[in-house]
Every structure is written in C-alpha cells, then in structure tokens.
Amino acid sequence: MFVDKAKIYLKAGDGGRGCVSFRREKYVPRGGPDGGDGGRGGDIIFQVDNQLSTLIDLRYHAEYRARHGEHGRGKNQHGANAVPIIIRVPAGTVVKDAQTGEQLADLVENGQEFVGAAAGRGGKGNAFFATATNQAPRYAQPGEEGEERLLEIELKLLADVGIIGLPNAGKSTLISVISAARPKIADYPFTTLVPNLGVVKHREYRSFVVADIPGLIEGAHQGSGLGDQFLRHVERTELFLHLVDISDLAVDDPVHNFEVVNRELRLYNESLLNRPMIVVASKADAAQDHEKLDKLKAWCRTERLPFFEISAATGKGISQLLEHMSKTVEELRSQHGEGHQSTAGHY
C-alpha cells in the first residue's frame, strides 16, 4: 500500500528533576549537598532509511511519546537519560508544522536525521549550586518539558526522470519495458493509482531512476482525477518524459493533449516548465493514420523540443529514446555537481 501523506503527534520526554539531598554518614558532620542531576528526556528523531518507499507506518502509528528522564538521587547519583525514539522514513520525506504549514525539514539522504521533537534537559541537583558562600543550598531545578508537536509528513519521490501524460498514454507500459518495474497495465484510464519507480541502466551510462506519475487530466491541480495527490512527486524530477498517445484510438488533437498536461504543471508550480522535457509519441504501432504523428512532430520542431516516436509493444524507438535519456541525465548530473540524490537501487 503506497501512502505518501500522514499527520502525527509527537511528545518528547521531559527532563528528570534534580534532587535535594545532603550527605549523612556517621562521623561526617555537615557532609554537604549531594543531590544529583536529573536525566535528559527522550528525543523523537526522524531518520532516512532507503529501504522504505512509503509512509504507511506513520498512517497506523500516528502518536509518539518518548520516555522522561530519570530523577536525580542522593549520593550525587544522576538520573539516566531516556532512550530517543527513532522514526524511520523514506528518502524524499518532507516534515511540516501542521498548524503553520512551515517546512521544518527535507530529508533526502540515507541516514539523514532531524529532531522532530526535542527532549527536555534534566534539572540540576542541589550539589550543583553549592558555593563557598552558599554551602547548603536547599533547592534544585525541575526538569524541562519536552517539545510537543503536531506534524504533517509528506513524501515526494526522488527520481531523475518523471514520465507524465494523460491517462492511458502508455506510461506504465513504457516503464515496464525500460526497467524491472511491473506496474498494473490495462486498456482503461487511471489504471495506475500510485506512482511506480523503476531503475534504468543503458549501456555504459550510470543507472537512473524513472517515476511513472499517475495520469494527469484537466483540473488536476485543483483535485480532478488523481493529479492533486501525485503532482508533488514531479517536483524533484530533473527531466520530464511527456508521453502523447498518437494511436487511432486517441481522442482530441495530440498538441492539445500535450498542452493540457503542461498547463496543469504550470498551475501547480510554474517553475516545473523550466525543466528539460522530451516529447514522446507513444503507441506508434496502433497508428495507421500518420496525421497525428506528423502534426506533433512539426509542433515539437517549432518549439525546439526533443521528439521521439516509440512503440513499447514492438520496441520501436526504445533504444534511441534510452540513449537520449541517459545522455541527458548524465549532463544534468554534471551541471548540478552530482548534487541530485537518486534512489537508484532502493526500490
């Protein structure tokens, strides 16, 4: 089950109280203060685990309470610190304050940590306050309270290439051909209900991750279809592969269909259209009339967009597309100084 959004409550542990105590032993008059400090409470920490790909654990475990630190004791015995709670999340997790909407953390690297709720420090015992002029303090500090937070957790998939297009454009079929991913494939719209990830390796090029984003339709940015659920997953992709169905069964003009999806990207986040895009005419094997193909190809030439004609069913054009994709991803990685973090090999 793919879950990419959750709301959770965190309560970090309170610090333990400091102790007020005095040393009392036979033949040791006025032994002095010996109250120990309280222990620190338990933090609640998010930690990235590349073996995870969903937030499903947070859906069913929505409340986390860490233990309090132990109180200080006499004979200068400090209370033990509480063990922190570690919440493991997939790479690409965004942590937000549920009340203000402020983004608190963007976790993208394996092992990266973020303290979601900080624990309270333990209070000082009276031994800490002893001075030459105050040799018998009769007070100690209470422990600090741990943070209490309500957080929204979102997952934005990490992928080098995002495959976009209208429903039933052939995205799932393509990703099943170019990678080991095996998404559900059928001849009706919205077959894909969750994003699919696949790792692609072509010739001498390094592997990269491709994400099949569920079909976008007009009004997706406002909640129509499935778009509002999954548009966030295109935000991290460096390259768009825009599939346009040119088969005889495809309705509407191919250029119009292309612009419908691009308009939804722009309305969701205008900066998305500044990223490189490859236009792919899909289902060429089912196109007896070449009018749609010729019109889309001419339009891409005018717009100076890379264009490829493919058939995932027969393999036509797949090798050429993979060559161009792999080369483009390598160039983008070089431009970003290897800064882009891929999740290759973890899904």
- What would the pLDDT profile of 130-183 be if each residue is shown by its tens digit? 999 999 999 999 999 999 999 999 998 888 999 998 888 888 889 999 988 665
Torsion region of 8: left, alpha or beta (phi above 0 gives left; psi -120 to 50 gives alpha): beta
The CB density around residue 180, as the number of other CB atoms within 10 Å, is: 11
Whether the full predicted model's pTM is greater than 0.85, yes or no, is no
Mean pLDDT along residues 318-340: 87
Q: What is the pLDDT of residue 218?
A: 55
- What would the pLDDT profile of 80-128 be if each residue is shown by its tens digit? 999 999 999 999 999 999 999 999 999 999 999 999 999 999 999 999 9
Domain CATH code at residue 273: 3.40.50.300
Under the banding of pLDDT at 50, 70 and 90, the label for residue 191 is very low
* Domain identity same for 122 and 170: no
Residue 340 within any structural domain of the chain: no
Mean pLDDT along residues 240-267: 91
Using an 8 Å Cβ cutoff, are 49 and 89 in contact? yes
Using an 8 Å Cβ cutoff, are 82 and 117 in contact? no
Residue 37 within any structural domain of the chain: yes
Residue 237 within any structural domain of the chain: yes
Under the banding of pLDDT at 50, 70 and 90, the label for residue 265 is confident
* Domain identity same for 226 and 141: no
The number of C-alpha atoms within 13 Å of 169 and in the hemisphere containing its C-beta is: 26
Q: What is the pLDDT of residue 186?
A: 44
How far is the C-alpha of 342 from the C-alpha of 109, rounded, in Å? 9
Torsion region of 191: left, alpha or beta (phi above 0 gives left; psi -120 to 50 gives alpha): alpha
Q: Which residues of 191-230 are buried (b: 16+ CB within 10 A; e: fewer)?
A: bbebbbbbbbebeeeeebbbbbbbbbbeebbeeebbbbbb
* Residue after which a domain boundary falls, among 155, 184, 204: 155
How far is the C-alpha of 257 from the C-alpha of 250, rounded, in Å? 10
Domain carrying residue 166: 161-335
Burial of 317 (0-12, 13-18, 19+ CB in 10 A): middle
- What would the pLDDT profile of 281-312 be if each residue is shown by its tens digit? 999 999 888 999 999 999 999 999 999 999 99
| Tally of domains within the chain | 2
Residue 320 in tokens = 């050429």
* Residue after which a domain boundary falls, among 98, 132, 155: 155
